[in-house]
Amino acid sequence: MKPKFTLDRPKVSEDEINKHKDFDSLVKQFKEQSIEKARSDVNFLKNKKVTYTAVIAGVAVICTLTYFTVFKKPASTQSAHDKINTSQSQSSSSTKFSKPSTAFINPPSAKIAVPYSSYKVDAVNGGEIKHPSQSKIKIPQKAFVNKQGQDIVGEIEIKYREFHNQAEIIASGIPMTYDSAGTQYHFESAGMFDIKGYQNGEPVYVKPGKTLTVELASQQSGNHYNQYELDTLQHQWTCIKKDVAVAFKGDAKSASPATSPGDVPASPKMKQLQSQLDVIPPRIDSVKTVYNKKINQLPAATQPAKPTKANQNRPQFELDVDYKEFPELAAFKNAVFEVGEENKNYTKDLAGITWGSAEISEGPQKGKNYLLTLKLRERVEKLVVYPALTGASYDAAIKQYDKKLADYNSLLTKRLADEKRLKDEMEAKQKAYIEEQKKLTDAMLKEQIRIRQEMQKQFESTMNILNNTAKVTRVFQISHFGICNSDCPSSMPRGAMMEPMFVEASQPINPYTVYLVEHGRNIVFNLSTPGAIKHMSYDPTKDYTLCVLSGSAIYTCSKDVFKAVAASGKNTLPLVKLPDNVDNTGDFKTALGI
């Protein structure tokens, strides 16, 4: 017969009972220990947890420095004063001329805008930039400061572009009228440029006392021009000085190469594509988060612990205890305790003692053995024990274990199937986003290449024009970045008047701006008020092409059509809408017939 350790707890006083009124919670805690825990082997009382991890294969989209240079530009530094509101009263005529509120500098279309070229210059040492048009920009040493007025060190970026013909002037959206003594004049241009400076995306400024020299290559060799700079706060041109043409001595081959793809300006289409690209990575992460949460919420499958059968080669004992008095030990009611070899203090004599209390806690090997602490007054004995089952108790526990194991396997199979289904759904959604990301990236690169080709075409067009005409240089000394030109103010042409009616395919067109492009002179007359459009004056001895802006569309009326209508004494001008494939100033110039 196995020895029994007898427990007889001393009677406690009423004070002690009141002192431990929360004993019920302690009893409940021990009752929750299932008998199966006492029947486990090496994993006794250990809750095995099966952890499932869904490994998602991500796709890395490698973006070059060029890519970020293009699309991570800072917000515009244009002053709030650079925008004005205009309103036009409706004409009493059946022809309506309406112009929405517009920016002071308002290109009619981003597609035909003249692109900037980008150059790098050391701020401390200065340098000389040679533009493909054969213009030069000379920068002195230590010529720049930041917005705090501190000297700039390191490399800065100079963004520069030029406007030499009527197509580029219209495409720029830069106002080309000049008010003097209450009279409005229109500029005949000998060349115009726009220059800016940045460091790390932040604008820089020309240091007080320093000037940059811009030697602007010009197609117009006359000396009847003045130099002007555009005041974007006052919305007017300011005359700087009389312009003097200098004989050109440049060499087209000395011009700096065209800008790299990283310097390509972002078009509206590129900005739209970029905004679509920006939302895809968060969506991919969101899909992963949502599905991982669903997977984690699946019912957990916990493998039951297999009962441990008693080992006859170890010393064994049972607890002889009133479980009503010792409910915390009820979980071990049918178990025997095997004494481990690590116990050097165990003797059968311990069974002859009626102990006052027994406590069971985690043993040295968590989930495998337990520490049984026996107490009788000052005497304390600690034994490392291994709970096990024998006979009918073991057989009953095995049957219960087999049932729970079957339930576990069923739940595990279902969980694995659900996990696979959720994982497949997640990967399908992520794959769709990744494919969309690839398409957008490809479209972005194609648009970048298109703009790059457009820039190159513009440079080549400019160089061809300059190489085939008499060229001069017009020297500007500028003390701040902005827009400057060499122009001669001219009055509106006179000699004839027309009250035009604009139509496209017999449908009336209501313009807000009409450009009267005169052939033979580098001038564009800007008619931007209802009165000027309704009563359009022109010189019948000259040839004119019309460029008409209405809504977001651009229309043209060729010089031959205009001349024929004017000669007939009629006023209905048929217009042709600018084709969608006209996406650079070279093609726009061809469409204007200049």
Binned average pLDDT, 10 residues per bin, the chain of 594 residues: 57 48 43 42 36 31 30 36 32 45 82 93 95 94 95 96 96 91 90 96 95 94 91 91 83 44 68 91 91 91 82 77 70 79 84 83 82 89 86 83 89 92 93 93 87 73 55 92 95 94 94 95 93 94 96 95 94 94 91 92
Q: What pLDDT is recorded for position 135?
A: 93
Q: What pLDDT is recorded for position 70?
A: 31
Q: What pLDDT is recorded for position 250?
A: 57
Q: What pLDDT is recorded for position 264?
A: 64
Length of the chain: 594
DSSP for 346-390 reads --GGGGGSEESEEEEEE-SSTTT-EEEEEEETTEEEEEEEEEEB-
- Cα 301 from Cα 304, distance rounded (Å): 9
Q: Interhelix angle for 391-467 vs 268-278, to 10°? A: 170
Q: What pLDDT is recorded for position 89?
A: 33
Q: What pLDDT is recorded for position 116?
A: 93
Helix, strand, coil proportions of the chain in percent (round to 5)? 30, 30, 40
Q: What pLDDT is recorded for position 63?
A: 29
In 3D space, the residue among 333, 336, 350, 321 whose CA is nearest the CA of residue 9 turns out to be 321
